Structure 1
Amino acid sequence: IDDRLAAVAVARHLEDDGSLLSKLLIEPARRQRLEHALQEAASGPFGRFLPNATDYFWGIREQRVRKLVLKNGHLIEPDRPHGLSIPFERPHLGQALLDGVLLPNLFLMFLVLAILPRVRVVGGLRQIGYVALFHSILLAALDENAPEERDLAAELQVRENAWGMRVIDEKISVREQLAGLPEGALFPDLLRQYRLRTFAETTDDLKLVRENARWRKIGQAGIKAT
């Protein structure tokens, strides 16, 4: 993920006091609900996947990333009296993000770059855990009495933002191939098999992407725009 892109995206959300992100972060009752959802996720069985080392944002000082805590309405460096101190208000947060003084934490990054725009993300073994948690946290923080948030909650029930795209298109799945190989020969055999094939052959020209209704709409919109 591009940290600076995510920072600019969060700043743009915060420019609008009616945006979902502004409500969740700035309105005290909504932030309390969000924090409760974060705590519930952290204490649950999959809490080990949740990256929660800082409060919403990382600070950048002297070209180093700093942990921040939210205290008395300010983001501050713990145990650093002369460290960063940024008012937890939309204009100050937005400007600090644009100035490179703040970076959003992983939850906010995925929120603005993937979950809200409904973009599928592809990642590693930890991501399969924390992206699902991010979905659950957002669902718990939404206001069901607000029509637009109720609609978003319904969309989020379809967990398109999951780990992996399963782009390898095979009559025999990779899992079945692994099951049929002798112990110790799993990955060398797979490597020999797939290194002889092109990406297009392995994915059937990205069949899963081409046949996905959402991607077709995006492609059609792009064609019309050009």
Structure 2
Amino acid sequence: MTQEEKPSHVNCDHATLDEVMRALTFLMPDLTRFWALPLKHYAYTVYDTVIRGDGSVRKDAMVRLQRCIVRAALRSGASDEDVERVSHQIAQSPIIQTGPHCHLLVEPDAFYTHLFSALGLAAHGLRWHIWYSASTVKFIERAKKGPGWLSLNGNAVNVFGLPRRRMDSYSICGQNGPYRFELAAQKGDEATNALASQLKAILPDRAFPSAAEAIKTANQILWRSSFPPSIRLLQVDDLDVADLVADHLEDSGSWLSARLNEHDPFANNIMRTMDHLNAGAWAGWVRPTTDFFWGLQDGRIFPLHLERGVCSGGPSSTFKVRFEPEHLAAALRERKLVPNLLTTFLITSILPGTRVLGGCRQTVYYPLMRYLVATALQFSGDWQLLDTMRADKCLGVWGHRVLRPTVGDPLLEIEKHGSVMQIAAQYSARTLKDCAGDMASFTKDPIWAQMSAHIRDQAVNLQSAEWQWV
């Protein structure tokens, strides 16, 4: 999980599977009918028509998002015809998979989510699987889990052959390479080593300036070798989003330029409302870890705090960026800043009106981010954008780890079935409840036990002001 998604300290035990399902269904009543239906029905609905508001700010944000998508498609080797199609798709079917972080495609935590997305895309005849993969994460997020590790045959393989101290310290978006695929398994584990050797043989045999670039390049190869040509992969990460934010800020007439500066109250209203949010029943979901951006230096990300018109790394830090559009844009282009989650979702979803598919934390924090933005807009009297947001329906949905076999090995399944879509077809006939497995990402996260308790105590209810922007 990203720094902003790490569990806060809560005084509750872990939730049971039944408690999680009840809480999730309570917060998202539309889920009720899907638990007992085949997975394909939920996949179809998630990728169905997006109901969203309209307005000048939204139109402008969508045009800028289209340009970002086009740049990423061209870098991935797409043809002019495909570039035109992906630009059209994001405008007409604005849906982005935002659940898996920047992992190799065959990591189980990512693979089965992409399989779920492929079901929905195929059902609607959509060509492009558009995936935002968070890269402001470290190589290791918990014990032998994270982009620096790959689960093969039930064992952890060191993707880049890095020592623990580097995995703990650096972010995968840092341009502090070179990074090469090593796929180092444990000595004596012949079965895992054989799988690692097979995989390494098809991965790019060259050095990359960042781990994120290495993973994105490898994923294009893995996608083409496993998924049907009728569905293409478009993967963007936080540096792509950094350029998108800079695009907004470099235009003095853009909505974002008018809001992200020291003279406008929008940013301070966001932070004040976030403090209020973290003082009540919704505490811990949207955490004030860093204000709008992360600092990035020598491959490491670090939190920034906005005070008196300056983003600073702290009292003893020499890292400072003025909170003015031209200074923020320059720092983003120079890779001194990267957007935090709130800024990322503001610019890729809330403003352009895209549906985002997320996991156990995003199902709650994304609607709360919309609440933060809406509250700040009310303080500012930005009624047009508020009206646009009010017309949105279900822009945030559960779409990551929806399909998560308790024991699943992508490479072995591909070897057994040959076609990824044959694997998808087998899962598609099983119920959503069955496909979701033990929902360990929910049950092992203490914040869901806390949420269940708040729902029982009616401290959280569907009439809560914070939950009106789902």
**What TM-score, normalized by structure 2, do the two folds share?**
0.35
Counterparts of 1:38 and 1:120, CA distance in 2: 23
- Name the counterpart of 1:134: 369
| Higher normalized helix content (fraction of residues) | 1
1:153-186, Cα deviation, whole Å (9 max, x unpaired): 3234x23222328988xxxxx9xxxxxxxxxxx9
Q: Is the 8 A contact 2:354 2:395 kept in 1?
A: yes
Q: Partner of 1:52: helix, strand, or coil?
A: coil
1:38-117 to 2 correspondence within 5 Å?
A: 38-81=274-317, 83-117=318-352
Structure 2 stretches lacking a partner, 5+ long: 1-132, 134-236, 408-415, 430-470
- Name the counterpart of 2:250: 15
User: Deviation at 1:147?
Assistant: 4.8
Q: Is the 8 A contact 2:374 2:386 kept in 1?
A: no
Counterparts of 1:141 and 1:16, CA distance in 2: 22
Counterparts of 2:365 and 2:325, CA distance in 1: 26
Q: Partner of 2:328: helix, strand, or coil?
A: helix
Aligned-residue sequence identity (percent) comes to 31
Q: Is the 8 A contact 2:310 2:322 kept in 1?
A: yes
User: Deviation at 1:51?
Assistant: 3.2
Counterparts of 2:279 and 2:394, CA distance in 1: 22
- Name the counterpart of 1:199: 424
Task: Output the amino acid matched with 2:300.
Answer: R
- Name the counterpart of 1:207: none
Q: Aligned pair 1:25/2:267, yes or no?
A: no
Counterparts of 2:332 and 2:400, CA distance in 1: 31
- Name the counterpart of 1:125: 360
Q: Is the 8 A contact 2:293 2:337 kept in 1?
A: yes
Counterparts of 2:241 and 2:288, CA distance in 1: 17
Counterparts of 1:149 and 1:44, CA distance in 2: 27
Q: Is the 8 A contact 2:377 2:383 kept in 1?
A: no
- Name the counterpart of 1:154: 390
Comparing 24-33 with 50-59, greater Cα deviation is found at: 24-33
Query: How many residue pairs align between the two structures?
Result: 182
Counterparts of 2:406 and 2:298, CA distance in 1: 44
Structure 1 stretches lacking a partner, 5+ long: 169-173, 175-185, 189-194, 205-226
The structure-2 alpha-carbon separation of the partners of 1:134 and 1:95, relative to structure 1 and needing over 3 Å to count, comes to same
Task: Output the amino acid matched with 1:30.
Answer: F
The structure-2 alpha-carbon separation of the partners of 1:38 and 1:18, relative to structure 1 and needing over 3 Å to count, comes to farther
Q: Is the 8 A contact 2:252 2:258 kept in 1?
A: yes
User: Deviation at 1:34?
Assistant: 2.1
Counterparts of 1:125 and 1:147, CA distance in 2: 32
Counterparts of 2:275 and 2:243, CA distance in 1: 27
1:92-145, Cα deviation, whole Å (9 max, x unpaired): 000100110001111001111122222222222111121121111111111484
Task: Output the amino acid matched with 1:85.
Answer: K
Cα RMSD of the aligned pairs, angstroms, is: 3.0
Counterparts of 1:159 and 1:15, CA distance in 2: 31
Counterparts of 2:425 and 2:376, CA distance in 1: 41
Misfit runs of 4+, over 6 Å: 165-168
Task: Output the amino acid matched with 2:279.
Answer: S
Higher relative contact order (CA 8 A, sep 6+): 2
The structure-2 alpha-carbon separation of the partners of 1:85 and 1:56, relative to structure 1 and needing over 3 Å to count, comes to same
Q: Is the 8 A contact 2:312 2:320 kept in 1?
A: yes
Q: Is the 8 A contact 2:359 2:401 kept in 1?
A: no
Q: Partner of 1:111: helix, strand, or coil?
A: helix
